[in-house]
Structure 1
Amino acid sequence: MKRKVALVTGGYTGEAEISFKSSAFVHEQLDSERYEIYPITIALDSWFHVNEAGVKIPVNREDFSLTIGEHIVRFDVALIMLHGTPGEDGRLQGYFDMIGLPYTSCGALTSALTMNKGYTKAILADIPKLHIAKSVLLFEAHRAQAVEMVERTLSLPYFVKPNAGGSSIGMTKVKERAELPVALDKAFDAANTGHQVLVEEFVTGREFSQGVFRNAAGELIVLPATEVRTTREFFDFEAKYIPGLTEEITPADLTTEQQERAAQIIQEIYVRLNCRGMIRVDFFLEKGTNKFYFIEINTIPGQTAQSFIPQQVRAYGMKEGDFYAELIEAALTQ
């Protein structure tokens, strides 16, 4: 009998448009002979599935089921492809835990924690060979004195970003003092990001993104890294999602020592944060020192056709459909 899979997409932030692209790509790759797939949209005003006839069917939030005609569809697993809140910050995971529905992503606590960039860095700070850029975490109560706090602690240039955002939404590279107030306001006011801002000192070096996942057999597998070279000032929203603005090299040109060091650190990050399913870790190798600098972790990485994880899965020698099936089967055995 086919597994019934709720392919969860949408969301409450500007990342919803990426979620729809991710879920569409995943849907195309999954084996329809093995899985019965129901895309489920999570929106602020409603949760629903649209059937082949274009009819919108509401989700029963008591048990996340669908009533189609006289038939009730109950799911075996939720495949979460919802970037941002509520799919990446632990809210949806907590709900699924409460109703007993397995899901493919990290748990509620890990998801909530890793959505907070400042808190994540604090937990990872003592991992051997891992370096953390100097930073200041600002809350809404700090807003009036935010410029002073940053200038007192950090040296230009800065990266200013929402502490709980994704897809580089609300992020600015600040090279001159006069740019800082506008950058802070942009980050503080980014929708549904909690009115917290992380400001970091800029690290000069090569930028990489690398996935890791636990398969159905319980093995922790590190995928080949991708090097990111962009024509933009930094790897912003446009660079991530507009073809031609970024050169992405998969597998990245790294020495054996660099590959082994990165894999060791990334596995330790996965274990330290008690991750499940797939995650992606972004990092710099600092110019001149070759030090590994943590940027951030993404617990529901983008799965559009040009996204890093599909590139890395292919470079590893897997088909995307087999990869997503591993995530589903792993979630069912946890």
Structure 2
Amino acid sequence: MRNIAVIMGGYSSEKEISIKSGQVIIENLDVSRYSGYPIIVTEEQWSFTNDSGTYIVDKNDFSINVAGEKILFECVYNTIHGTPGEDGIFQAYLELLKIPHTSCDSYQSAITFNKRDCIAVLKPWSIHTGRHLYMNEGEEVSFQNIIDEVGLPCFVKANRSGSSFGVSKVYEESAFAKALQTAFAVDDEIIIESFLDGMEVSVGIYKIGKTITALPPTEIVSENDFFDYEAKYLGKAEEITPARLTESGTLAVQELSKRIYSILKLKGIARADFIFHNGTPHFIEINTNPGMSRESIIPQQIKVAGLELQNVLTDIIEDTIKNHQP
């Protein structure tokens, strides 16, 4: 029986969403193979709680002592959204301890969590994206220059954030000040992105051995102005899986998702988001620790693909352990 730690929580506004994801992973582990330990990671403490009490993680070796028994982990399943589990910090810690973990490695995590860096890395590979401007807190800004570069409407986004925290859609110059304030409240770096008109789709991707699998795309139809927090988690969007794409459109976005996954050298489950603009999928961003809650897109896609979540998790965990290089 392998001991598997499922880490969840984190230090960001996505903490509660992450805990929901982690709980789904725990519930779907194969109990004939694994003893799953939900580890809540917060800035105050890292801990495991069961009916007997709460046990603090020993950060020297990422172990817990339960009723006098020292428990070490053969693999860590990472469901932390945001810092420190999606930006490379926790991955680097586990890599120092030589503990296998399911998310991509620290370098790849840092790049993909930073929207600006990720777009810059993909640009030489001729990946279609919108037009972008970057800004750091404290810089002087000309709203007219922004309009000249990316047009209206446009999106103002916190650069290192998820779940649409710190995102605004701007229709007119007078709305920029508030949008910048919203974004800078989340991150001191922002990205301003041109609006792309078209169908929004999201594609789950994972790799077992040398085979990269792209799941059926999900079409997102938001009741709100865009796919914001309410749309994602409070039922304000229709998520249609499989997306209402042509066969060639489906294949195109799946192949593009696999190509991006390969270019970025990812592992574990990721989710890539696109807009079909003028018939061509344009890359928006990639989430390397995507939501796995009951409301999340990846479990929907796994089901529509005719797969069992438990089997997918088993394949990922076993592949992670097999290919771990201490």
TM band (smaller chain): over 0.9
- TM normalised by structure 1 equals 0.94
Q: Is the 8 A contact 1:105 1:277 kept in 2?
A: yes
Name the structure 1 match of 2:260. 269
2:132 maps to which of 132, 135, 156: 135
Aligned to 2:283: 294
Say which of 201, 207, 211 aligns to 2:204. 211
- Contact 1:218–1:330 (Cα < 8 Å) also in 2: no
Q: CA deviation at 1:146?
A: 5.7
Matched position secondary structure for 2:141:
helix
CA separation in 1, counterparts of 2:144 and 2:107? Answer: 33
Task: Work out whether residues 217 and 254 of structure 2, in 8 Å CA contact, stay in contact via their aligned partners in 1.
Answer: no
Equivalent-residue separation in structure 2 for 1:152 and 1:222 (angstroms): 37
1:177 — aligned with what? Answer: 173
The Cα offsets for residues 250-294 of structure 1, whole Å up to 9 and x where unpaired, read as: 1112112112211221111011111011110000101xx202111
Superposed structure 1 runs of 4+ greater than 4 Å apart:
none
Q: CA deviation at 1:148?
A: 5.3
**Partner amino acid for 2:263?**
R
SS state at 1:145 partner: coil
Q: In the alignment, does 2:27 pair up with 1:28?
A: yes
In 2, Cα distance between equivalents of 1:304 and 1:30: 14
Unpaired segments ≥5 residues, structure 1? none
Shift of 1:147: 3.4
Q: Which residue of 1 aligns with 2:106?
A: 108
> What is the SS of the residue equivalent to 1:24?
helix
Q: CA RMSD in A?
A: 1.2
- What number of residue pairs does the alignment pair up? 323
Write the mapping of 1:157-306 to structure 2, written as runs, cut at 5 A: 157-190=153-186, 193=187, 195-215=188-208, 217-243=209-235, 245-286=236-277, 289-306=278-295
Offset at residue 327 of structure 1 (A): 1.4
What is the one-letter code of the residue matched to 1:228?
Answer: I
User: Contact 1:139–1:197 at 8 Å: present in 2 too?
Assistant: yes
Going from structure 1 to structure 2, the CA distance change for 1:139 and 1:149 (only over 3 Å counts) comes to farther
Counterpart of 2:27, as a letter, is E
Q: How much has 1:152 moved relative to structure 2? A: 4.4
TM-score by length of 2: 0.96
Task: Tell me whether 168-177 or 253-262 shows the greater mean CA deviation.
Answer: 253-262
How far apart are 1:145 and its partner, in Å? 2.1
Deviations 1:140-195 (A, max 9, x none): 242x32635523422111101100010000110001110011101110111xx3x1
Q: Distance in 1 between matches of 2:77 and 2:142?
A: 39
Q: Is the 1:127–1:265 Cα contact (8 Å) retained in structure 2?
A: no
Matched, 1:145 2:141: yes
Unaligned runs of 5+ in 2: none
For 1:139, give the aligned amino acid: N
The alpha-carbon deviation at position 51 of structure 1 amounts to 1.8
Question: Partners in 2 of 1:149 and 1:174 — Cα distance?
Answer: 14
